[in-house]
A and B are shown apart, each in its own frame.
Chain A
Amino acid sequence: MTGIEFYVVVLLVYLGTDLLAAWGLNLEYGISGVANLAYIVVIAAGAYTYAILSLGPDSGNGGFQLYVVGWQLPFAVAVIAAAAVGALVGVIIGVTGLKRIRQDYQGMVMLVISLMAVTVVGADTGFLNGQAGLSLIPNPFSSLSPAVGDWAYVAMVALACVIGFFVMRRFTGGPMGRALRAMRDDEHAVAAMGFSVIRLRLMSQAVGGAFGGVSGALLAAFIGGWSPGAWAYVETLALLTAIIVGGMGNDMGVSLGTFVIAVLLLQAVQFLPQISSHTGLTEALGWIILGVLTITFLWVRPQGIFKERRPFYRSPGETERSAPGDSATGRVAAPRA
C-alpha cells in the first residue's frame, strides 16, 4: 500500500466516523436543541468500551497497560456494546439538561462534564490506563494483508454510515423528528399534545449517544489506540463547527459541513509548512480557522450553508397570494373549491 493510498484510507475512515458523530450531535443539538458540549465524552465512552471489551486481560503483553474488563469479545459484539454505553452515557449527560435552565448555562454544564471526564479518566491509571491511554486495540481485519484489511475497514465504515444514515433519517425526518423539532420550539406545547418531554429528550440523547459510541469504537479500532489526548473538549467544537457551517438541523448540510470542516480543513492545515521554531503551530492554526469560521457563520449566515427548511415554500395549489382581507369576508365557513 502506497503512502497516498493509506492517506486516503485514513481520510475516509475519519470522514465516516466524523459523519456518524456529527449526525448524532445534530440530533441532539440541531434537532432537539440540547447544547451538548460534552458530546466527545460519548465518543470516548464508545472507544474505551470497544477497547476494553475487545482487548484481552491487561496482564497480557507483560502488563504494560492497566485497564478493567479485557474480555476479548468479537468485534461486532464490542461495537454494539459501545453503542449501548454511548447511549447510556448520553442519557446520563442529558439528565443534567433536564432542569429547565437556559441553553447557554446548559452548554456550560456540559463543557464542565467534558473537562471533568478527561481529568478523571486521565488521573486513574488502573481504570483505562490513565494519561497514557490504551494501545494495541484490536482491528477486526488484522489477519488480512494491510492493503486488503484497510480497504475492508473503509467498506465496513461505509456500511456503518449507510445504516446510520437510515437510522438518523428516522429520527430527523419522520414523526419522531417532528416531535423533537417541536420540542425545540416549545416544550410546553409539546407536552400539551400528550408527549412526555423528558422521554423525548432522553431518547434523543440516547440515540445521539449511540451514534457517538459507534463512531468512537470504529475510530479506536482503526487507530489501535485511545487516550485522553484524543477526546479533549475542543473535538466537540470541531463537530459543532461542522454542524453550524453545514446547516444545523439539515441532514445534508451537516454531512457536507463534516466533510468540509472535520476532514478537509483539519487535514489541509497539516500540509502547511512546519515552522520549526513553533512546533504545534499548524495544529493550533486549524483550531483558529475553525473558531473564525464558527464566528463568521454565526454572524453572517447563522442558518449555515443549507438552511434547515425553506420557509417560503408554498403549498401545491396555493395561489400567489391570498386576497388581502380574505379572512374578513365572513365566508370563512364556506369550503373552498
Chain B
Amino acid sequence: MPTSSDSGGRETPALAVQNLVAGYGDFAVVDGVSLEVPVGKVVAVAGPNGAGKSTLLKAMLGIARVMSGKVLLDGQDVTSAPLEKLARLGVGYVPQLDDVFDSLKVLENLEMGGYLCNRVERQRRIERVLQVFPQLQAKLHRYAETLSGGERKMTAIARVLMLDPKILVLDEPTASLTPELSRVVLEEQVRPLSAMGTSVLLVEQKAVAALAIADWAYLLVRGRVEVSAPAAEVLSDPNMREIFLGRAAAEVAARSVDAE
C-alpha cells in the first residue's frame, strides 16, 4: 500500500511527495499532501474543482511554488527542480491547459516531444504514436490552433508519449474527449503503459473511468488528502464511491457498473 507507514521493505516509489505545502505567491493551495506513485502503477487523484489537483502536479514539477515538503523521484530529492531536468529524468507531463503548441503543426508538436532523442528514434516514435492515434495522421500538417478539443488532447498525449517517459503525469488527459475515446485513452493507452513499467499519476474528473484503470486512488479536498485507498475498493464500496464521486455522480456510476 502506498502509504509511508509500511513502505519499509518495498521498492522505492517512482514518484513521491511528502508533506507538500505549495501554491502561488504566499497562498498555499496544497496543504500538506503526501502521496506515492509506485513503479509501474497507476495512481489517480480525484477531487472537486479548485481542490488543488493541478497545483499539486505543478508543484511536483517545479512550476508552482513549493513552500515546504519534498518531492522525490526514484528516492532522489527533486523538490523545485526545473522542469527540463525532470523531463530528462524521464518525467512526462501533460498540463490541463496549454497542452499543445498552437503555433506549431501537429507533426511539429510531435517532433518537439522527441527533442531528447535522435532523428531515427524520433521518426520511429512518431510512427508508433500515430498507430496509437490514427486520426492524427490526417491532421499532421494542421496548426494545432485549428484542432478540435479532442484532437488537441490526442496531440498532447501523443506528444508526451514521444518522450517515452518512465513516469507520466497527466492532468485531466481526457477532458474534452468523448466518453468512448476517454475510455480508449485510459484503458488502451494509459493502462498498457503501466503494464510496461511506466508509472502514471493521473488527475481525472471522469473518476469512474480513472478508478477503473487505477491501482490506487487519492481524494483531494481543499488541498488535503481526504481519502487514500485502493481504487478497486473505492469502486466497490458504495460509501467510498459516494464520497469520491459526489452523490449524483455515484448513482450514475452505480448504474454503469451494474450494467456491465
Contacts of A175 in B (CB 8 A): 111
Q: Which residues of A contact B102 (CB under 8 A)?
A: 185
- Beta-carbon contact of A178 and B134 below 8 Å: no
Beta-carbon contact of B103 and A309 below 8 Å: yes
Residues of B within 8 A of A313 (CB): 141-143
Question: Does residue B50 face the partner (Cβ distance < 8 Å to A)?
Answer: no
Q: Decide if B137 is an interface residue (CB 8 Å cutoff).
A: yes
Given A178-B108, A188-B63, A188-B98: A318 and B139 interface contact (C-beta under 8 Å): yes
Contact (A193, B134) CB under 8 Å given A188-B83, A315-B139 = no
The answer to whether residues A191 and B83 also contact, given A181-B104, A336-B135 and a CB cut-off of 8 A, is yes
How many residue pairs link A and B with beta carbons under 8 A? The number is 125
B contact residues around A132 at 8 Å (CB): none
Number of interface residues of A (CB under 8 A): 43
Cα A33 to Cα B95 with chains together (Å): 21
A105 CB–B CB distance under 8 Å: no
Establish whether residues A336 and B134, one from each chain, have CB atoms under 8 Å apart when the complex forms.
Answer: yes
Taking a contact as CB atoms under 8 Å apart, the answer to whether A185 and B84 are in contact is no
Given the interface contacts A182-B104, A194-B116, A327-B177, does A189 sit within 8 Å of B142 by beta carbon?
no
- Complexed CA–CA distance, A221 and B140 (Å): 48
Q: Does A280 contact B (CB under 8 A)?
A: no
Contact residues, A88-121 vs B (CB, 8 A): none
Which residues of chain A are near B227, meaning CB under 8 Å?
A: none
In the complex, whether A184 has a CB less than 8 A from a CB of chain B is yes
Stretch of B14-22, B23-31, B86-94 that contacts chain A: B86-94
Query: Which of A326, A327, A334 has the most chain B CB atoms closer than 10 A to its own CB?
Result: A327
Contact status B131-A193, CB under 8 Å: no
Residues 188-211 of A, flagged 1 when their CB comes within 8 A of B and 0 if not, give 111111111100000000000000
For B135, list chain A residues within 8 Å (CB): 322, 326-327, 332, 336
**In the bound complex, what is the Cα–Cα distance between A80 and B196 (angstroms)?**
53
- Is B184 engaged at the interface, CB distance under 8 Å to the other chain? yes
Query: B178, A195: Cβ atoms under 8 Å?
Result: no
B226 within 8 A of A: no
Q: How far is the CA of A334 from the CA of B63 in the complex (A)?
A: 37
Is there an interface contact between A333 and B184, defined as CB atoms closer than 8 Å? yes
**A185 and B108 form a contact (CB under 8 A):** no
Type the 1/0 row for B159-196, where 1 means its CB is closer than 8 Å to any CB of A. 11001000000000000011011001000100000000
* Binary CB contact string for chain A from 166 to 183 against chain B (1 if under 8 A, 0 otherwise): 000000000100110110
**Cross-interface CB contact of A330 among B82, B112, B180, cutoff 8 Å:** B180
Enumerate chain B residues within 8 angstroms of A336, measured Cβ to Cβ: 134-135, 137-138
User: Which residues of B lie under 8 Å from residue A330 when comparing CB positions?
Assistant: 180, 184
- Bound Cα distance A194, B111 (Å): 12
In the assembled complex, B145 has its CB within 8 A of some CB on chain A: yes
Listed residue (B101, B108, B151, B178) with the most chain A CB atoms within 10 angstroms of its CB: B101
Q: Chain A 311-333 against B: per-residue CB contact (8 Å), 1 yes, 0 no?
A: 11111111100100111111011
Q: How far is the CB of A312 from chain B (nearest CB, A)?
A: 6
Q: How far is the CA of A197 from the CA of B111 in the complex (A)?
A: 17
Tell whether A308 is near chain B: CB-to-CB under 8 Å: yes
Q: Are A192 and B103 in contact (CB under 8 A)?
A: no
- Whether A189 pairs with B101 at a CB distance below 8 angstroms is yes
In the complex, A182 Cα to B155 Cα: how many Å? 14
Return chain A residues, CB-CB under 8 Å to B134: 332-336
Q: Which B residues are in CB contact (< 8 Å) with A326? A: 135
B4 at interface, CB cutoff 8 A: no
CB proximity to A under 8 Å, residues B221-248: none
Residues of A within 8 A of B87 (CB): 191-194
What are 16 contact pairs spanning A and B, CB under 8 A?
A: A175-B111, A181-B103, A182-B103, A182-B112, A185-B103, A189-B99, A193-B113, A194-B88, A314-B142, A318-B139, A328-B180, A329-B180, A332-B181, A333-B184, A333-B188, A335-B134
B-binding residues in A (CB < 8 A) = 175, 178-179, 181-182, 184-186, 188-197, 249, 308-319, 322, 325-330, 332-336
Pairs A-B, 3 closest by C-beta atoms: A191-B83, A194-B87, A315-B141
15 extra interchain contacts, Cβ-Cβ under 8 A, other than A178-B112, A195-B84?
A: A182-B103, A188-B83, A189-B98, A189-B99, A193-B112, A193-B159, A195-B115, A311-B145, A312-B146, A315-B141, A318-B138, A318-B141, A322-B138, A327-B177, A328-B180
